[in-house]
Structure 1
Amino acid sequence: MRILLIASSYNSLTQRARAELQDRGHAVAVEITPDGAAIREAVVRHAPDLVLAPLLKAVVPRDVWSSRHCLIVHPGPVGDRGPSSLDRAIQDGADEWGVTVLQADEEMDAGDVWATVPFRVPAVGKSDLYRNELSDAAMTAVHLAVERIAAGAAPSPQTGPARARPFLRQEERRISWDQDTETVLRRLRAADSQPGVLDELLGAEWFLHGGHPEDGLRGRPGELLATRAGAVCRATGDGAVWIPELRARTAAGEARACKLPATLALAGRLPELPEPPVPVAAPARGRTWSDIRYREQGPLGVLSFAFPGGAMSTDHCRRLLSAYRAACGRPTSVLVLGGQRDFFSNGIHLHVIEAAADPAAEAWANINAMNDLVEAVLTTTDRLVVSAIGGNAAAGGVMLALAADEVWCRRGSVLNPHYRRMGLYGSEYWTHTLPRKVGPVLAERLTRSARPVAAGAARSLGLVDRVVDCGPGGFSDEITRMAARLASHPGVASRVAAKKAEHEVREARTPLAAHRERELRRMRAIFDDPAAPFHDLRRAFARKEPQSAGSPDSRGAGPAGPADR
C-alpha cells in the first residue's frame, strides 16, 4: 500500500510509524505539513492509497479526507477530544488512557473509529509516556487500522458521550507550592518537555521542565533547598521535588530561550545552596533523584543513566565517564550500560551549545567529552559490556551504544544512526564502530539515507544483537535477568580474553586515535565555519523555530532528528 505520513514535525512517533510500516512492506513517504494547503499539495504529489497523521496540528481539508482514507492518530480514548488530551490525563491523575485511530472528519477528533488501544499510565513525564506506552499502543492501533483498510473493512461510528476539553493553558498548569508533592509532580509531568510550567523563581519567570520526588529534604514551600547534577530541589507542602531543566520566558518577538540544566539557566542568580552527594546507588529508604545510578548483582554491574531528552552535555559526559570508570573498578564480569526506559542517548547537547557564549567552543568541548566516554567503553578489555537501549537513540548516542560488546534494545525502540540532519560529519568513533558492526557498505547507506531504523530491522541489519520483547516498564528487570544469566555463563572468561586479544590486533592495525583524529578534524572545520549549516540547524532545533513544509528526505540536513515528542 502507498502510505503518506503527514505531520507537523518529524517527531518520534512519525519516525517509528515510517520505519515499522516500511518494514511491513508498505511504500511510505513523509511530508511535514504546517497547514491545509501543504497537506493538499502533498496528497496531489504522492497520490497515496492512505494518508496517516501521527502528529498533526493543521486541519485536514475536506477534499482530502472526503476522497480517500485519511487517518488521525489521537492520543486519547474514544470520545476524548481536544489538543491537550495527554496533558490533562496526566495532570488529572488518570491510571489508564488510550490511543484512537480516527477517520478525519469535519469536527476534530469526531470521525469514525478504525482502532483504539488502551494503555496504563505510569508515574512518568508526558514525553516519556508518549514515546513509550503511548507509542506502543499507537503502533498497535495503526497496524490494526491499516490491516482493516486493506481487508476492505469499514470503521465504526463513535458512540457514547463526547468529552470535548479545551487546550490546557498555563493558568490551569500553575503550581501552588504549598500543595502536596504528588499534585506538584502531576503538573510538572504533564508539561515536562512542552510547554513546561510557567513559574516565578529568583526574580524572573521560567518554564519548569521535568520533576522527580524527594523525600529527605524539607523547607518552606517554594524554597530552593539544594542542587544536584544541574538540577534544583524545591520544597512542596509535604516534601520536595527535583527540577532538572528551566527555560527563561522571553518577550514577544524575541527568540525562544533554550531549555537548559537548571543551575546553568540560573547562573548568576542562584544563591549558595548545599549539594548533597549524588546517590549513585539506590537509597535505602525514601525517594530521591539522580540522573546516574549503579547497582550490582553478583558478577553483574548495571550503570544506568537518564538525561532529559537524551541530550548529553559536556558535564553529563564527564560525570558518566567518572561513574563508568568507578563501575569498571568493581569485581564484575559483565557491565550493562543503560537499561532505563526511554531515551538511551541522542549525543551532544544542542541546547547547551546554542546558549553558550561561544557555541563553537562548547560544541568542541562537548564532542571531545563524548569521545572520551566512548573511548573508555571501547578500551574496556577486562569484562563484557552490554549497551541496553530501552527507548530511542540517535547520532552519537547510537555510536556510544555500538562501542559495547553487545547491543540490546527494546522492541519499541527507534535508532537514528546518522548525523546528517544536523549538518554534522559525526564523531564518537563511528567510522570504527559502525562498519565493524554492519559492514562498510551498509554503514555508508545508513549514514547517507538518514532514516530511522526500527528495532526489528536493526536486528536484521546487525546493528543490534538482541531485541527484548517487553513493555517499557519491564525493560530494566528483563535486562537485569538476561545480563545476570550472561554473567554466570562459563564462557564469559574466554570471551573476555578473546576480546582483549582482538583489541590489541586492531590497535596495531589502525589505532582508535587515528579514527578520532580524522573525525574531529572534520567536526572542527564545521564548528569553526560560521556558514556551516550546523549553526542554523542547531538554532532551529534548540529554539523550536518552525519547520518548512516538505519531505525530511528532500530537505537533506534539517532539524528533524530526535524530537521531544
Structure 2
Amino acid sequence: MHILLVASAYNSLTQRVHAELRDRGHRVAVETAGSGGAVRDAVLAHDPELVVAPMLKTAIPRDVWSVRTCLIVHPGPPGDRGPSSLDWAIHERATRWGVTVLQAGEEMDAGDIWATADFPVPAAPPAAKSDLYRGEVADAAVTAVLLAVERFAAGGHTPVPQTTLREAVSVRPYFRQELRGISWANDTTGTVVRTLRAAASQPGVRDELLGAEWFLHGGHPEYGLRGRPGELLATRAGAICRATADGAVWIPELRPRQGPGMPAGLKLPATRALALAGTLPRLPEHPAPLLEADGGPHRTWSDIRYREEGPVGFLSFSFPGGAMSTEHCRRLLEAYRTACSRPTTVLVLGGARDFFSNGIHLHVIEASDDPAAESWANINAMDDLVEAVLTTNDRLVVAALGGNAAAGGVMLALAADEVWCRSGAVLNPHYRLMGLYGSEYWTYSLPRRVGAETAELLTRQAQPVSAASALRIGLVDRVIDCGPEEFGAEACGLASRLAPFPATQSRIAAKKAQSERREAARPLAAYREEELARMLRTFRDPHAPYHALRRAFTRKEQPSRTSPEPRAVAGEPAAC
C-alpha cells in the first residue's frame, strides 16, 4: 500500500514508523510539513492511499481529511485530548498511559478511533518525557499504527466514535511554563526532578539563574550535597548541582532564553553554557566514582558507570540526546581503558535505556569560537574511542543498544565483536544528511558487517533501519525483544551466559591473529587517514553544506516543508 507520512519533524517516532511500515512491504513517502497548506501540497504531490501523521503539530485541512483517510497518532489513551499529553501524565504520576490512532476530523484529537495500545509508566525514578516518548510510547505507537494500517488495508473496519467511549473525555490545555515553575525554597528534590523530567528534552523548565533566564534540561537527584535552596553547589561532568528544599539536583544542560525573532538558543552542557555567558562561578568539581562498590547502586548521578558481575564488566553511559562532545569521548575512553584493565572475559558497552550514541555534538561545535577546529577535535576524539574498541584483543566486547543510534554512534557499536539491540531501536548508519563523509572507521566496519554493496546503499539512501532489518542484513547480531525498562537486565543475563562458553575463550584467543591479518592486509590507520582527510576538507571549507546544515539543525532554522530526499533530520538530538 502507498502510505504518506506527514510530520512536523522527521523525529524519532516518525523514523520508527517509517522503518516499520517499510519492513512490512508498504511503499512509504515522508514529508515534513509546518502548516496545513504544506500538508495539502504533500498529499497532492504523492496521492497516497492512506495518510499517517506520527507527530503533527498543525491541523490537517478539511479538504484533505474529508476526501481521504488521515490517521493521527496521539500520545494519550482514548478520551485524552490536548497537545501536552505526556507532560500531564508525568506531572500527575500516571502509572499507565497509552497511544491512540484516530481519524483526522473537524476537532483536534476527537476523531474516530482506529487502534489503541497502552503501557506501564516507569515510576522510580520518574520517567523523562523524551525517554518515555522514544521508548514505551514509541513501542505502543508502532503497535497501534500497524494494527490501524492492517485494518484499513483489509477494508470493512468501522472505527469507534469517541462519543461511545466509556472513559470520560479529558481535554487538557497546553502545559505552559507557568505550570513548570520550580520553587527552590519549597520544592523537594523529588518534586524538582519530576518537574525537570516532565519537560525533557523540550521545552525545558524556564528559570532564573545567576541573574539571567535559562531553560533547564534534565534532572537527577543528589543525596549527599546540601546547601541553601537555589544555590549552586558543585559541578560534575559539565553538569551543575543546585540545592533544593531538602537536598539537591544535578542539571546537565542549559539553554539561554532568546528574545522574539531570535534563533533558538543552543542547548549545552551547563558549565559550558554559563562559561559562555560569563557567569560560571567558582564551584568545586565533585567527580563520581566510576566503579560501583560491591555491585550496589550509587546514591549520586554520573553519566558513565562501570560494574562487574563475575567475569562480565558493564560500562554504561548516557549522554543527553546521545550527543558526544570531545570531552564526553575523552572521558568515556578513559573509562573504557579502566574497564579493560579489569580481569573480565566479556565487556558490555552500553546497556542503558534510550540513546546509545548519535556521534559528535553539533551544539557544542556550533557554540565554539572555531566550529571547524572543534569539529576536528570532536571527530578525532570519537575516532580514538572507536579505535580502542576495535583493537581490544584480550576480551569479547559487546555493544548493547537499548535505544537509537546514528552516524558515528552506530560505528562505535560496530567496533565491538557483537552488537545487541532492543527490538524498538532505530539505527541510522549514515552521515549524508549532515553533509559529512563520516569517520569512526566506518569504511572498515560497515562493509565488514553488511558487505560493500549494502554499505553503499545504507550511506547513500540515508534511511532509518529498524532492529529487525538490522538483524536481517547483518548490521547487528542479536535483537532483544523486551521493553525499554527490561533491556539492561536482559543484556546482563545474556552476557553472563556468554562469558563461560568455551567458544567465547576460543574467539578471544583468535582475536589477536585476526587483528594481525587485518593490519597486514590494510592497517586501520589507513582507513582513519583517508576518512579524516575528507572530513578535514569539509570542516575547512566555509561553503561546505555541513556548516549551513549544522546551523539550521542546532538553531532550528527549518523551512516549513522539505522534500523527502534528501531530508534534514529535525527534532532529534544535536549529534552526527
Same fold (TM over 0.5): yes
| 1:175 has 2:182 as partner | yes
Take 2:555 and 2:356, find their aligned partners in 1: how far apart are those partners?
23
SS in 1 for 2:352: coil
SS in 2 for 1:72: strand
Map 1:381-400 onto structure 2 (within 5 A): 381-400=393-412
Amino acid at match of 1:473: E
| 1:150 has 2:162 as partner | no
Cα deviation, 1:29-61, whole Å, max 9, x if unaligned, reads: 101111111111111111111100000011101
Maintained 8 Å contact 1:5/1:54: yes
Take 1:213 and 1:92, find their aligned partners in 2: how far apart are those partners?
19
Structure 2 equivalent of residue 49 of structure 1: 49
Take 2:536 and 2:432, find their aligned partners in 1: how far apart are those partners?
16
Structure 2 equivalent of residue 273 of structure 1: 283
Structure 1 equivalent of residue 327 of structure 2: 315
Please say which of residues 288-297 and 152-161 is displaced more in the overlay: 152-161
Amino acid at match of 2:146: H
Take 1:460 and 1:510, find their aligned partners in 2: how far apart are those partners?
28
| 1:546 has 2:549 as partner | no
Cα deviation, 1:234-268, whole Å, max 9, x if unaligned, reads: 11111111100000112222222110000111113
| 1:115 has 2:123 as partner | no
Map 1:7-46 onto structure 2 (within 5 A): 7-46=7-46
Maintained 8 Å contact 1:92/1:186: no
Amino acid at match of 2:158: A
SS in 2 for 1:426: coil
Take 1:550 and 1:264, find their aligned partners in 2: how far apart are those partners?
33
Structure 2 equivalent of residue 163 of structure 1: 170
Maintained 8 Å contact 2:197/2:219: yes
| 1:425 has 2:432 as partner | no
Map 1:6-405 onto structure 2 (within 5 A): 6-122=6-122, 123-152=126-155, 153-158=157-162, 159=165, 160-177=167-184, 178-267=186-275, 268-282=278-292, 287-405=299-417
TM-superposed deviation, 1:320: 0.1
Q: For the aligned residues, what is the CA RMSD?
A: 1.3
Structure 1 equivalent of residue 474 of structure 2: 462
Maintained 8 Å contact 1:12/1:563: no
TM-superposed deviation, 1:310: 0.2
TM-superposed deviation, 1:116: 1.2
Take 1:59 and 1:105, find their aligned partners in 2: how far apart are those partners?
9
How many residue pairs match? The answer is 562
Structure 2 equivalent of residue 5 of structure 1: 5
Name which of 513, 526, 534 aligns with 1:501: 513
Cα deviation, 1:188-242, whole Å, max 9, x if unaligned, reads: 0111211110111111111000001111111111111111111011111111111
Please say which of residues 213-222 and 283-292 is displaced more in the overlay: 283-292
Take 1:68 and 1:478, find their aligned partners in 2: how far apart are those partners?
43
SS in 2 for 1:340: strand
TM-superposed deviation, 1:326: 0.3
Take 1:551 and 1:21, find their aligned partners in 2: how far apart are those partners?
19
Cα deviation, 1:372-427, whole Å, max 9, x if unaligned, reads: 00000000011110000000000000000000000000000000000000000000
SS in 2 for 1:57: coil
SS in 2 for 1:339: strand
Maintained 8 Å contact 2:91/2:198: yes
Cα deviation, 1:459-485, whole Å, max 9, x if unaligned, reads: 000000000011100000000000111
Cα deviation, 1:3-41, whole Å, max 9, x if unaligned, reads: 100000000000000100010111111011111111111
SS in 2 for 1:369: helix
Cα deviation, 1:343-397, whole Å, max 9, x if unaligned, reads: 0000000000000011001000000000000000000011110000000000000
Take 1:98 and 1:221, find their aligned partners in 2: how far apart are those partners?
36
Take 2:199 and 2:37, find their aligned partners in 1: how far apart are those partners?
30
Take 2:264 and 2:572, find their aligned partners in 1: how far apart are those partners?
19
Take 2:569 and 2:13, find their aligned partners in 1: how far apart are those partners?
16
TM-superposed deviation, 1:560: 4.2
Maintained 8 Å contact 2:415/2:445: yes
TM-superposed deviation, 1:171: 0.9
| Structure 2 gap ranges (5+) | none
TM-superposed deviation, 1:287: 2.7
TM-superposed deviation, 1:557: 5.8
TM-superposed deviation, 1:562: 4.0
Take 1:170 and 1:560, find their aligned partners in 2: how far apart are those partners?
23
Q: Call closer, same or farther: CA 1:382–1:285 in 2, change over 3 Å.
A: closer
Take 1:347 and 1:557, find their aligned partners in 2: how far apart are those partners?
18
Cα deviation, 1:468-506, whole Å, max 9, x if unaligned, reads: 011100000000000111111122221012111111111
Take 2:215 and 2:559, find their aligned partners in 1: how far apart are those partners?
23
TM-superposed deviation, 1:273: 1.7
TM-superposed deviation, 1:285: 6.7
| Structure 1 gap ranges (5+) | none
Maintained 8 Å contact 1:210/1:245: yes
Name which of 531, 537, 552 aligns with 1:525: 537
Structure 2 equivalent of residue 416 of structure 1: 428
Take 2:72 and 2:175, find their aligned partners in 1: how far apart are those partners?
21
TM-superposed deviation, 1:552: 3.1
Amino acid at match of 1:339: G
Cα deviation, 1:288-332, whole Å, max 9, x if unaligned, reads: 100000010111001000000000000000000000000000000
TM-superposed deviation, 1:96: 1.4
Amino acid at match of 2:431: Y
Take 1:491 and 1:193, find their aligned partners in 2: how far apart are those partners?
43
Maintained 8 Å contact 1:102/1:115: yes
Take 1:552 and 1:346, find their aligned partners in 2: how far apart are those partners?
21
Amino acid at match of 1:292: I
SS in 1 for 2:564: coil
| 1:443 has 2:451 as partner | no
Tell me the TM-score normalised to structure 2 length.
0.96
TM-superposed deviation, 1:563: 4.9
